[in-house]
Each structure stands twice: as structure tokens, then as C-alpha cells.
Structure 1
């Protein structure tokens, strides 16, 4: 059974092989939209899913249609691709358990969440946001140290509380947005 890791360290027996996927293989695995759709659908259903239902939903998402509007040819094209390529790839990575009829996520699939941090195209990456927030906090703290910022109306502790409060509020928004944008959390995949 493969587990997911940042690297692929040597095992104690000296073979240099273990059962962990390196990050590069994980990114390759997740680079395909159909495979991400499979993970999304399986997470959303949270039980074994029939391959036919999976194929219908993946086709609908790819074609931006309702499931009822997907033609049998569109469904069959996705079904064939899933069965011959994508599901075996996910199964070899031990992300899903797959037989001829049903697919279900394995426990190892939960470890993919850290690699699936989805940032909407119209938002600022959180790293950049926190860097800017740290810069603002540093300017405020420097202003207090240099006595440039007046402390008569707002004491130093008030300014420090404001900076910490901004970081805390930002962290709460960050966590809520990340949970909302995860695969399997919404009707349609992000």
C-alpha cells in the first residue's frame, strides 16, 4: 500500500524502495483534470460509486452541462477513458479501490488534500497576502518603536492588538475559504 510523502527515503533494509509516492508523482497524478474530477466526485459521494454515474458526472462537468443533458456518446467517451487510463492510474497510486463496477477512495486519498489547495483565479495568493500583512504590521511596530505613531488616543498595546487581530481574522478567512474550495465540498468541482 503506497502512502504519500515529500520524498522517497531509503528503507531500513537498504533497498532504497519504500511504499511512498514522491511529490513529483503526486503532482503528475493530479495534473489531469479527469483524475481530479474522479477524486472530487468520490469525496462528495463518500461511498463506493458506480463507474457509470462517475462517467456521467465527469462528462457533465467537462462539457459544462447538466447530467441529464449528457449524450450516451459523451458518456461512453469519458467512461472508456476512465476505465482504460485514469482509474488504473489512480489505483496504482493507491488513491482509489477500483473494480469493474465501483470506485471508492482509499485512506491514502485524504493525504492528497495538502496538494489540492485551490486558489480562485481572481484572488491574491495567501502567501502574498500574509507577506503584505506582515509588512503593514512591521510598519506599525516600527512606527511605535520610533514614536512616530501617536499613542495618546490608541496605546501601544492597542496597536499590537490590532496587528494580531488582523492576522487572526485573516487566518480564519483563509481556513474557511480553503475548506469551501476543497475537492468534494461543492456540487461542481472548483
Structure 2
């Protein structure tokens, strides 16, 4: 389903020709931990990353070891896998450029950010939280209409003010939490 607008052709499913990737391809790219680790390491780096450094870091994350503890076979296995399989796949998708043994992210990576946000374990989904806050707000407003809440000792505008403050504080906390749990802000990728 697409629609024409001032900015050109808009679509729910961007295609590579228009500078986007279909959701299925994004999920396929992100389904492999070595590709996720590659993107994560490159996001943390400032500029191009040598393949040898990338392979060492990916191997260290895989083996849950420091880079100094890695054996040459562990490094070589990851290096070969990245060079022959994962980097060409990411390059074909337009996520990275790989030239002269160096890997660098493209602007296409910014389009992946929505799929790379991390939701902490045991947290309440934000949609459920805001639904609960909306229901509570509706109950307060309904109680005001029904005359159940006191308005003589408490100014009538105090109730909606508290509701707006709750939503504002919640939204600010939500924005800060999302920034903290962005894929590139984690020490180790998932």
C-alpha cells in the first residue's frame, strides 16, 4: 500500500531502491549474532574499523573472554566467517562498506535503530503502562464529573494538573530509558 505525497512515494514497506530495507530483510540481517555484534562494534567505533580488530572483538563477545585470552583459532574462525559470509551480506544490504580490510557503517544503519532498541527484562511494556495511566486518568475525570472527588478543598484544576504532570514525567522517563537502552549504548551486544 503506497500513497503519493509532496516528498515522493511513501510506503509501509520501503524497498532498497528507495533507500530502505524491507522489514523481513532487516529481521533476517539481525537474526545472526555476528552481524549484530558487527553493527554494535562499528556503532561504538569512531570511523572505519579494521577487520582484524572487529573479528577479535566479535570472538571475545562470543566466547565471553577478553581479547587477550583468545586463541588464534578462535580469532581466525570469526575472521573468516565475517570476511566470507557476514560482511558481504551486510554490504549487499547497504548497512556497511567493506574496503581494504576496513568496515564502516553507512547511513542506512540509522534506519535499523528502531529494530535495535532493547527492552529490559522484567519491565512493564510502555504501551501497557500508558494504558494504565490513561485508565487512571479516565477514572479521575469520571469521578470529577460524578462529583465524587472533593472540589471545595482542592481546586478543580488540581486533578487535571496532576494527570498532565504524571504523563509528562512518565514520557520524560520513557525517553531517557530508551536512550540508555539503545543498542549502541550497551557495553556488550545482545
TM-score, normalization: structure 1? 0.86
Q: Tell me: CA distance 1:74–1:6, structure 2 relative to 1, closer, same or farther (3 Å).
A: farther
Q: Who is 1:98 aligned against?
A: 98
Alpha-carbon separation, structure 2, partners of 1:155 and 1:105: 56
Q: Tell me: CA distance 1:147–1:44, structure 2 relative to 1, closer, same or farther (3 Å).
A: same
Q: Across the two proteins, how many residue pairs are aligned to each other?
A: 179
Q: Who is 2:136 aligned against?
A: 136
Alpha-carbon separation, structure 2, partners of 1:51 and 1:117: 25
8 Å contact kept, 2:97–2:106: yes
8 Å contact kept, 1:39–1:183: no
Alpha-carbon separation, structure 2, partners of 1:135 and 1:70: 54
- Find the partner of 2:13 among 7, 15, 34: 7
Q: Tell me: CA distance 1:77–1:6, structure 2 relative to 1, closer, same or farther (3 Å).
A: farther
The DSSP-based 3-state class of the residue aligned with 2:34 is helix
The DSSP-based 3-state class of the residue aligned with 1:21 is coil
8 Å contact kept, 1:140–1:159: yes
The DSSP-based 3-state class of the residue aligned with 2:97 is strand
Alpha-carbon offset, residue 18 of structure 1: 4.9
Q: For structure 1, list consecutive stretches of 5 or more residues without a partner in the other structure.
A: 10-16
The DSSP-based 3-state class of the residue aligned with 2:157 is helix
The DSSP-based 3-state class of the residue aligned with 1:37 is helix
8 Å contact kept, 1:44–1:186: no
Q: Does 2:163 correspond to 1:163?
A: yes
8 Å contact kept, 2:95–2:106: yes
The DSSP-based 3-state class of the residue aligned with 1:150 is coil
Alpha-carbon offset, residue 109 of structure 1: 0.9
Alpha-carbon offset, residue 43 of structure 1: 0.7
Deviates more, 1:142-151 or 1:88-97: 142-151
Q: Who is 2:6 aligned against?
A: none
Q: Does 2:183 correspond to 1:183?
A: yes
8 Å contact kept, 1:95–1:108: yes
Alpha-carbon separation, structure 2, partners of 1:8 and 1:91: 18
